[in-house]
Amino acid sequence: MAIANKIANHISKSSWIRKMFEEGERLRLEVGAEKIFDFTLGNPDVEPPEAFQRELCTLAQNPLPGMHRYMNNAGYEETRAAVAEKLSRDAGLSVSAKHVIMTCGAGGALNVVLKTILNPGEEVIILAPFFVEYKFYIDNHGGVPVEVSTEQETFQLDIDAIEKALTSKTRAILICSPNNPTGVIYPQESLRKLGSLLKNIHRRNGHLIYVISDEPYARIAYDGKSVPNIFPLVESSIIVTSHSKDLALPGERIGYLAANPTMDTVMQFMEGAIFSNRVLGFVNAPALMQRLVAKLQDESVDIAAYQAKRDLLVTSLTGMGFEMVVPDGAFYLFPKSPLTDDLEFVKLAQKHRILLVPGAGFGAPGFFRIAYCVDIDLIKRSLPAWSELAKEAGL
C-alpha cells in the first residue's frame, strides 16, 4: 500500500464525511448550487471586521524592514504581549508574553500541546459530542482518546463521569466552550469543580492532569453571556484558540496557546511547547497575521448577526417540532434526530436539498449538526424545505 495502514484506516473510518460531501456535490450539479441549503461547514461566510482591513492596508502601505523573516519560534513579543494583556484582563491575574505562543490556528495549538505533554499510551479524555478532529490529533502524538459523555439533556460537563474515567494514565481532559457542535458554554461553577477535583489528585499523589480548553468561539457568545476564563478556575489549564471564527480568518492560520501562569511547572511546559511548535514543522505562526492580530484583541465579527441567525433557526425549527438545546454561543445547533438513525435522517434531509452532519460523527448518534455561519437569506429560503423535511420525518 502506498500509504501507512494507520492513515488508510483513519480515512476509511471517516469515509462518511467523504460520502456526505460527494452527495452534496452531486446534488449541486443536479439542481444547481443556489438551490442547495448547505449547513455542513464551520467556515464563516462573513468578512473580517473593518479594523482588520484597515490594519492590513496600513501595513501594506508602510512595510516594516524584515517583516517577512523568521522570528522567535514562540512569535513576536509585541503580539504575545497584546494577547497576554487581554488574557490578564479576562482572567483577573497576571499573564505575560512568556506564557503565550502564537500558533497556526487552534488546530496547530492543539497539536503543539498534545505533542508537548503526551507519553505514548497516555489517555486524553474527550467529551462527547466532540469536534471531529480531536481523536486524530490525539493519535498524532501517540495518545489514546477516552470518550466521556456530557449530561444527557443539557450537554453540560458531567464531573462524576469524568472522575470515573480518570486512570493513572490520564494526561489531559480536552474541553471546548462554546462547544462545537452543541454551542453550550460551561459555567464557572462546573469548571471550578473540575479544577478542584484535579488539584486534589495532584496534591494527593503528584499526578498532573491538564485541562486543555479549546476556545476558538469564545468571543461568539449570546444573550449577554460570556465564556469564563479558565485560569482562575483550573490551575493546570492551557488555553488553545484562534482567530478563525472571531475575526473570520480561518484561511490565515493564526491562533495561540496560553498556559496558566499559576501552574508550578508553567515555564517547563512553555519550553516544551516552543520546541514542539518548531519541530512540528510550523516553525512559527504566519508573520503578517501576527502583526495584525496584535492590534485586534478586542475586535470581533458582528456577534448580533450570528445571534439573529441562531434565533431564526431555533424559533423556526422548534415550531416545526425539532428538539434542541438552545446554544449560548458558537454558530452550531445540535438538534435531536427525529429518526433513530441520524445517518438516515441526514440522507432524508438531502432529498429536501438540506445538507447536514450526522451526530455519529461527533460521537453522539441520534443528533445532527447545523452550521449556521451562512447567509441569513439562505436560512430564510431553506425554511419551507425544513418544514417538508419535518413532516416527512414524522414530526
Choose, by CB under 6 A, the member of 24, 44, 48, 107 that binds ligand PLP: 107
- Of residues 122 through 141, those in contact with ligand PLP by CB under 6 A are 131
180 binds ligand PLP (CB under 6 A): yes
73 binds ligand PLP (CB under 6 A): no
How many residues touch ligand PLP (CB under 6 A)? 13
166 binds ligand PLP (CB under 6 A): no
361 binds ligand PLP (CB under 6 A): no
- Of residues 36 through 55, those in contact with ligand PLP by CB under 6 A are 42
Between residues 174 and 389, which has the closer beta carbon with respect to ligand PLP?
Answer: 174
Between residues 212 and 389, which has the closer beta carbon with respect to ligand PLP?
Answer: 212
363 binds ligand PLP (CB under 6 A): no
- Give residues with Cβ within 8 angstroms of 224, minimum separation 6: none
The torsion of the CA quartet 228, 154, 171, 177, rounded to 10 degrees, works out to -30
286 binds ligand PLP (CB under 6 A): no
Between residues 242 and 284, which has the closer beta carbon with respect to ligand PLP?
Answer: 242
216 binds ligand PLP (CB under 6 A): yes
Between residues 166 and 330, which has the closer beta carbon with respect to ligand PLP?
Answer: 330
Between residues 49 and 201, which has the closer beta carbon with respect to ligand PLP?
Answer: 49
Cell numbers 508553567 correspond to what residue? 266
- Give residues with Cβ within 8 angstroms of 338, minimum separation 6: 321, 322, 345, 390, 393, 394, 395
214 binds ligand PLP (CB under 6 A): yes
221 binds ligand PLP (CB under 6 A): no
The torsion of the CA quartet 78, 79, 85, 87, rounded to 10 degrees, works out to -160
> Which residue ranges make up the site for ligand PLP (CB under 6 A)?
42, 105-107, 131, 176, 180, 214, 216, 242, 244, 250, 255
